[in-house]
Amino acid sequence: MVRRYADRPVDPEALDRLLRNATRGPSAGFSQGSEFLALSEADDVALFWTATGADPASHNEWLDGMRTAPVVIVPLADESAYRRRYTEPDKARAEDAEWAVPYWFVDTGMAALLILQTAVDEGLGACFFGIPLEHVEGFRAAFGVPPHLTPIGAVTVGHRLDDPGSPGSPARRERRADAVHRGRYST
């Protein structure tokens, strides 16, 4: 996860590949309920930060670095696309049926991961982060995002700077060694 970017634009063709690959991710029932708001104009990127609560006068290392990204992509999940799809004859499920897992979020999260992986393949850096709940409506209003679409977070993209890495959690905590279980769950 890159948190500070070089002052260079992202090639529009690279941005197109990021977005194209994102639309090729898994989709339960091929519901295709993920959409993407791509912001690559400086004014739009600045509006994103303001709309999501980043006061232009406030400063902290994380925010100052993240605001250097020339591109922000917001993956949007559409629950209604899945509910509609799963009422079609080949899926035959009640529209209000409970889901063990809300695949609209799972699939859109996988699409976000495809953006991150494609950024690496393009020689770029990227970072996924959440939009604070109290600023989601401001984000929607600023960009005309309809209420049936839920932003699952945002991804900054740009050319990475040489840096020693994040002083955040990964530098302070060891990676778990007990997360994989084979054959049976064991503690």
Residue 108 has a pLDDT of: 98
Taking residue 80's Cβ as centre, other Cβ atoms within 10 Å add up to 14
Q: How many domains does the chain have?
A: 1
DSSP SS3 for 67: coil
Indicate whether 184 belongs to any domain.
no
Domain holding 42: CATH number?
A: 3.40.109.10
Strand-strand pairing, 154-158 and 125-129? antiparallel
Q: Name the average pLDDT for the chain.
A: 92
Is residue 148 a contact partner of residue 80, using CB atoms and an 8 Å limit? Answer: yes
Q: What is the pTM of this model?
A: 0.91
pLDDT at 43 over 90: yes
Is residue 66 a contact partner of residue 148, using CB atoms and an 8 Å limit? Answer: no
Query: Containing domain of residue 101, as a range?
Result: 12-163
Indicate whether 89 belongs to any domain.
yes
At 75-109, the pLDDT tens digits run: 999 999 999 999 899 987 776 778 889 999 999 99
Q: CA 146, CA 135: separation in Å to the nearest integer?
A: 15
Residue in 19, 23, 43 with CA at minimum distance from that of residue 34:
23
Indicate whether 58 belongs to any domain.
yes
Could you tell me which residue, 176 or 6, shows the higher pLDDT?
Answer: 6
Indicate whether 172 belongs to any domain.
no
At 18-40, the pLDDT tens digits run: 999 999 999 999 999 999 999 99
At 126-165, the pLDDT tens digits run: 999 999 999 999 999 999 999 999 999 999 999 998 765 5
Indicate whether 7 belongs to any domain.
no
